[in-house]
């Protein structure tokens, strides 16, 4: 019986406590969410300040408060994503030099992929390209310094230097059993972003190596120059690391006359923009093939993805790199800044590029065409009494040497069958564009 009273008494006590708690909550003033958020921020800042003070006082090395703040800011920014970082006075100055001045470098675009410093693409004609660096190469060491936990900007800072100075890279390449040592001599990076050649009588091949401020204008010129004879276009964006967004939009606009090209969406509505095509800028509607690979990034992915979504071109090659984010440089003082990711790019269909890339319609791996000559086959020309071909005589006063030089000069703007045999992706593109021209009639 005593136990029973105890149980009852205990139950009443708990019930009264619960009721009292409920009543207290019922009549308590509602907590202001804004006030709660501000309190949380103050607590977080206090914790940060406390940690800084403890490290400054007890760390084994004598680190100044300025150095600790730089390390803290750098750690915070690099942990946001692979493209955000804190720019110290030295870094910010280098960025300005890169943007506005001439500098010595290797001619490669790099990114962080799966935690490793990776070559997105070597820029055509640069020291890196001539030394044999390839898209997808993982850089293990720069000179003798390991790239483990190295940021993109730190790596670029080391690789950039005086023209003529050598640098050694240790890389890992798919298919190679051992790391490769590549010796490169820095040079001035001057890039020809657009060049065009013809294939056969009616195919225009346009190579865009990067998106500088004249890409759309230069491509337009090349198309208009050969407008009368062009029945198909091959746009080569392989190993193109990207560049200016407005040039990517304007390039798509040359081929697409309506609809969205790309949109960017961020947390802030002010950062949300949609770029659309206009009929007045469209100059051609001939069939197209776009060449892409793992070195096609950023602006290249916007162009190829938009043309694919509009069903304006057939994409041939390999999956692109997958960089679909927007970065801005925001000064925090006259000499320091942060580079921050503020938005993501989205293609006309609404799909994202970020970490996914653009998938080709027809996947073709790089390599040469495997062709064998049959020396035992007999053709009409081998028959004893075959009809002779009609010979065309050309009257002229050119010497043999002059004729050879003229032929050599003419071939600069022509892609020959022999050249295509060395590039199976291009050969496949030519076959596809020929089929599209036949279908269009």
Residues involved in catalysis:
298, 309, 323
Token digits of residue 233? 């276009």
Of 284, 324, 327, 278, nearest to 300 by C-alpha is 324
Edge-to-edge strand list for the sheet holding 194-199: 194-199, 203-208, 232-236, 288-292, 314-317, 362-363
Residue 290, C-beta contacts closer than 8 angstroms, at least 6 positions apart: 234, 235, 236, 237, 303, 304, 307, 308, 313, 314, 315, 316
> Distance (Å, rounded) from C-alpha 313 to C-alpha 360?
10
> Distance (Å, rounded) from C-alpha 283 to C-alpha 225?
12
Residue 339 in contact with residue 85, Cβ under 8 Å?
yes
> Distance (Å, rounded) from C-alpha 111 to C-alpha 354?
13
Residue 85 in contact with residue 152, Cβ under 8 Å?
yes
* DSSP result, 152-208: HHHHHHHH-B-TT-EEEEEEE-TT-SS-EEEEEE-EE-----EEEEEETTTEEEEEE
Strand, coil or helix: what is 210?
coil
Of 252, 264, 258, nearest to 307 by C-alpha is 252
> Distance (Å, rounded) from C-alpha 76 to C-alpha 53?
18
Q: Sign of the CA dihedral 182, 185, 190, 194?
A: negative
Rg over alpha carbons for the chain, rounded to the nearest Å, is 31
The 10 Å Cβ neighbour count of residue 431 is 13
């Amino acid at each position: 019986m005593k136990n029973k009273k105890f149980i009852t008494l205990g139950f009443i006590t708990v019930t009264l406590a619960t009721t009292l708690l409920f009543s207290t909550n019922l009549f308590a003033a509602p907590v202001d969410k804004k006030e709660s958020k501000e309190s949380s921020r103050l607590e977080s800042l206090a914790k940060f300040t406390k940690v800084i003070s403890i490290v400054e006082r007890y760390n084994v090395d004598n680190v100044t408060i300025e150095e600790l703040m730089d390390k803290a800011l750098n750690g915070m920014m690099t942990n946001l994503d692979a493209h955000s970082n804190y720019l110290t006075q030295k870094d910010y100055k280098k960025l300005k030099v890169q943007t506005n001045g001439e500098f010595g470098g290797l001619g490669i675009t790099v990114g962080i992929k799966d935690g490793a410093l990776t070559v997105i693409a070597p820029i055509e004609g640069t020291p890196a390209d001539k030394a044999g660096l390839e898209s997808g190469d993982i850089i293990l060491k720069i000179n003798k310094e390991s790239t483990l936990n190295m940021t993109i900007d730190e790596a670029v800072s080391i690789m950039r230097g005086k023209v003529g100075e050598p640098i050694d890279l240790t890389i890992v390449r798919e298919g190679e059993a051992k790391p490769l040592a590549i010796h490169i001599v820095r040079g001035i990076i001057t890039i020809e972003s657009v060049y065009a050649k013809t294939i056969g009588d009616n195919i225009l091949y346009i190579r865009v190596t990067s998106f500088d401020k004249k890409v759309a204008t230069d491509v337009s010129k090349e198309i208009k120059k050969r407008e009368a004879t062009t029945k198909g276009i091959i746009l080569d964006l392989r190993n193109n690391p990207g560049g200016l967004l407005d040039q990517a939009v304007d390039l798509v606009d040359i081929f697409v006359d309506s609809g969205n090209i790309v949109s960017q969406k961020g947390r802030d509505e002010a950062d949300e923009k949609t770029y659309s095509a206009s009929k007045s800028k469209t100059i051609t509607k001939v069939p197209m093939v776009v060449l892409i690979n793992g070195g096609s990034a950023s602006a290249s992915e916007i162009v190829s993805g938009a043309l694919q979504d509009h069903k304006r071109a057939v994409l041939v090659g390999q999956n692109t790199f997958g960089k679909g984010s927007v970065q801005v440089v925001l000064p925090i003082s006259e000499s320091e800044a942060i580079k921050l990711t503020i938005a993501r790019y989205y293609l006309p269909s609404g799909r994202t590029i970020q970490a996914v890339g653009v998938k080709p319609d027809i996947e073709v791996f790089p390599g040469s065409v495997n062709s064998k000559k049959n020396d035992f086959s007999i053709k009409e020309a081998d028959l004893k009494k075959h009809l002779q071909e009609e010979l065309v005589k050309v009257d002229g006063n050119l010497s043999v040497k002059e004729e050879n030089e003229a032929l050599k000069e003419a071939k600069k703007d022509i892609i020959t069958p022999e050249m295509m045999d060395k590039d199976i992706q291009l050969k496949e593109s030519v076959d596809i564009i020929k089929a599209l021209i036949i279908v269009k009639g």
